[in-house]
């Protein structure tokens, strides 16, 4: 995206879109551009004034009464955020599922300013009424959205910068939106993260009273995080996943649309009763998840966490040696060599394309290591916003910055104490932050933001990236001294298209995911012959979808495969790099067409992240 200041960049985009009718791709985020297009198709005139009128007081009271549960569960977060963000001239808003604002609190001066553009209780802020805005666009997108200044559809709303996150109940139904809004002339680096954290706490509270006739399971890779808003919470009814919070869905790469469809057997290897025996469950990727079983109609815990007395790597009841078919004989040797390096207190660097299983490899490496019974803390350096990545990694003291938690934060590095720290997508770490990480790795001490006594650190380090770090160093985007500090032992994870026996890999994965269904020979050949630009992640996503769309005992035939697999095998397996690029581009564009341009749906179908899809399609557009 252009490096021009935001105001100039958005001004250029608005002139391009509203005056010349062009699509300013790459100048504003795709989410904003798509929203502008929806608003124009919906008949909104950018030169008109939004026709909004607050509800009468009696109607607003009725609306709030209907949303009593949401308001009660959100109230602690509203109070805490309002106090923390008031100093930044910001406000926090709570809406219902349709965008009606129920409550607004925070800086009194900005509450008045927001009221001048009808950002106030009793007004509906959906896209069809007030155009592109964080609340309404988050409702359409079903995810967190930030809209800054002139990115709003209507010019008067350009005084606002807003970050909104939808709130879902345990069954995946949207029940509201939490929004943090402030003056567009100021930077609001932390607003989006603060909104997400607040929503995670609200959604977690929905499980406090139990879920009727559901078996509620609480899980996390780190037993110490059970009972916090970061634990995954899953609700099963008759062996099917019908309820979950976001953390629970993220454990398995699912989204709210998978509720009611995913079966217990597709997620876990072994019965639920294993929680009573081991204090852990093994998922279908061979990962151990510590957990506890909640009572089916209340918040009482029937089975508390009991981590094994010995390291999980040595506990024969936890994980079989061949816990996942991804580790063939050659990869077993690679794992053993990497484990010896890690146990010698030397860092391991994993490199491979998106979807090749870098985190799966890292978790298995941790499981086999001498630190297997200690924490495994995974940090996605590309997912943390640049404004907060330092605070999240290194921790901070009370009052270190506006919006900081009153009790401070230990930071992710200290959470890995005694165990393994996994820095995923290390190649995307901001250049300005790399020297501090290098210093921490050299000295094995850190000082939290805002002061505080230095803390001695003890963790083993695994890093991973999809980037070519040699090229990144040559381009000045990655420090060579940091590279040599993290790359004592390098492991390259091959792309799926390079696998020596793809058919055997497909059969092994299908044995785990297929729930007794059969693949006929032609379907197996099509699956094995495809290039899989999203690698193992995309393949697993495809297999799970085939299970979800078929009946028990059914034979999977070629006609049931996704459209991108219907091409003849010869066309699907080009022999040159250029041919492979063309195949990947065709698969991505086919998925985008099939989803009517919905990038999130296309990325899920391909088994890759939205950011990867944006990056690859954007690179293709620049080449042409």
d(CA 609, CA 327): 23
CB-based contact 195:346 (threshold 8 Å): no
d(CA 181, CA 85): 10
Q: What is the pLDDT of residue 583?
A: 58
Neighbouring-strand partners of residue 424: 380
d(CA 286, CA 399): 41
Q: What is the pLDDT of residue 447?
A: 66
The distance from CA 391 to its chain's CA centroid, rounded to whole angstroms, is 19
Domain over 57-205 is classified CATH 1.20.210.10: no
Q: What is the pLDDT of residue 355?
A: 83
What topology is assigned to 500-623 in CATH?
Helicase, Ruva Protein; domain 3 (1.10.8)
Q: What is the pLDDT of residue 383?
A: 62
Q: What is the pLDDT of residue 292?
A: 86
d(CA 526, CA 52): 55
Distances (CA, A) of 5 to 11, 13, 15: 10, 12, 16
- What is the three-class DSSP state of 77? helix
d(CA 144, CA 384): 14
Whole-angstrom distance between the N-terminal and C-terminal Cα of the chain?
17
d(CA 119, CA 93): 9
d(CA 492, CA 127): 46
Neighbouring-strand partners of residue 568: none
In the predicted model, residues of the chain with pLDDT beneath 70 are: 1-4, 209, 277, 294-326, 383-392, 395-410, 447-453, 567-587, 590, 593-601, 603-624
| 51-58: long-range contacts, CB 8 A cutoff, minimum separation 24 | 51/129, 52/118, 52/123, 52/124, 52/129, 52/130, 53/123, 54/118, 54/120, 54/121, 54/122, 54/123, 55/100, 55/122, 55/123, 56/122, 57/122
d(CA 3, CA 75): 39
- What is the three-class DSSP state of 576? coil
d(CA 489, CA 471): 19
CATH H-level superfamily of 329-492: P-loop containing nucleotide triphosphate hydrolases (3.40.50.300)
- Taken in order 262, 266, 271, 272, the sign of the CA dihedral is negative
Report strand pairing: 215-220 vs 288-294: antiparallel
Q: What is the pLDDT of residue 313?
A: 32
Q: What is the pLDDT of residue 168?
A: 96
Report strand pairing: 460-465 vs 420-424: parallel
pTM over the 0.95 mark: no
pLDDT-above-90 percentage for the chain: 39
Q: What is the pLDDT of residue 314?
A: 30
Q: What is the pLDDT of residue 441?
A: 86
d(CA 426, CA 204): 30
């Amino acid at each position: 995206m252009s490096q021009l200041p935001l105001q100039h960049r958005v001004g250029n985009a608005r002139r391009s879109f509203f005056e010349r009718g062009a699509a300013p791709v790459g100048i504003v985020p795709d989410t904003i551009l798509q929203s502008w297009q929806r608003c124009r198709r919906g008949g909104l005139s950018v030169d008109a004034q939004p026709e909004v009128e607050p509800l009468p007081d009696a109607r607003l009271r009725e609306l709030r009464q209907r949303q009593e549960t949401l308001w009660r569960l959100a109230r602690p977060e509203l109070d805490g955020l309002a106090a923390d963000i008031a100093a930044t001239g910001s406000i926090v808003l709570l809406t219902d599922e349709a965008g009606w604002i129920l409550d607004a609190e925070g800086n009194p001066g900005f509450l008045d300013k927001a009221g001048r553009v009808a950002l106030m209780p009793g007004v509906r802020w959906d896209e069809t009424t007030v155009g592109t805005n964080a609340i309404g666009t988050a409702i359409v997108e079903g995810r967190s959205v930030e809209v800054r200044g002139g990115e709003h559809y209507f010019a008067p709303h350009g005084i606002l910068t807003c970050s909104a996150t939808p709130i879902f109940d345990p069954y995946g139904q949207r029940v509201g939106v939490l929004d943090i809004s402030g003056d567009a002339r100021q930077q609001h680096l932390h607003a989006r993260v603060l909104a997400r954290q607040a929503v995670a706490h609200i959604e977690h509270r929905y499980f406090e009273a139990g879920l009727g006739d559901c078996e509620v399971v609480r899980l996390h890779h780190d037993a110490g995080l059970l009972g916090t808003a970061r634990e995954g919470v899953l609700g099963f009814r008759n062996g099917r996943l019908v309820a979950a919070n976001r953390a629970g869905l993220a454990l398995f790469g699912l989204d709210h649309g998978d509720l009611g469809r995913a079966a217990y057997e597709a997620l876990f290897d072994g019965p639920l009763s294993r929680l009573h025996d081991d204090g852990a469950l093994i998922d279908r990727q061979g990962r151990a998840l510590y957990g506890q079983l909640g009572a089916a109609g209340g918040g009482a815990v029937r089975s508390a966490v009991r981590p094994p007395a010995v390291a999980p790597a040595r506990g024969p009841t936890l994980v079989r040696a061949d816990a996942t078919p991804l580790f063939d004989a050659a990869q077993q040797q690679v794992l053993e060599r990497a484990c010896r390096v890690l146990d010698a207190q030397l860092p391991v660097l994993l490199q491979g394309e998106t979807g090749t299983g870098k985190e799966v490899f890292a978790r298995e490496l941790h499981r086999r290591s001498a630190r297997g019974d200690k924490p495994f803390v995974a940090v996605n350096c590309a997912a943390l916003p640049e404004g907060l990545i330092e605070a999240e990694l290194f921790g901070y003291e009370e009052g270190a910055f506006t919006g900081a938690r009153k009790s401070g934060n230990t930071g992710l590095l200290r959470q890995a104490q005694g165990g393994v720290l996994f820095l995923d997508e290390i190649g995307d770490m901001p250049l300005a932050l790399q020297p501090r990480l290098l210093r921490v790795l050299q000295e094995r001490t850190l000082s939290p933001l805002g002061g505080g006594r230095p803390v001695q650190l003890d963790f083993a380090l695994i890093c991973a990236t999809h980037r070519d770090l040699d090229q990144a160093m040559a381009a000045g985007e990655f420090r060579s001294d940091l590279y040599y500090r993290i790359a004592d032992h390098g492991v390259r994870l091959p792309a799926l298209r390079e696998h020596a026996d793809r058919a055997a890999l497909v059969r092994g994965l299908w044995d785990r995911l297929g729930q007794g269904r059969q693949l006929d020979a032609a379907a197996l050949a099509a699956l094995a012959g495809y290039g899989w630009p999203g690698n193992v992640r995309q393949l697993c996503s495809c297999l799970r979808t085939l299970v979800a769309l078929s009946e028990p005992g059914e034979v999977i035939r070629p006609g049931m495969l996704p459209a991108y697999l219907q091409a003849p095998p010869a066309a699907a397996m080009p022999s040159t790099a250029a041919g492979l690029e063309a195949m990947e581009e065709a698969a991505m564009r086919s998925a985008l067409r099939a989803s009517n341009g919905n990038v999130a749906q296309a990325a899920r179908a391909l088994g890759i992240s939205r950011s990867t899809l944006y990056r690859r399609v954007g690179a293709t557009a620049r080449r042409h």
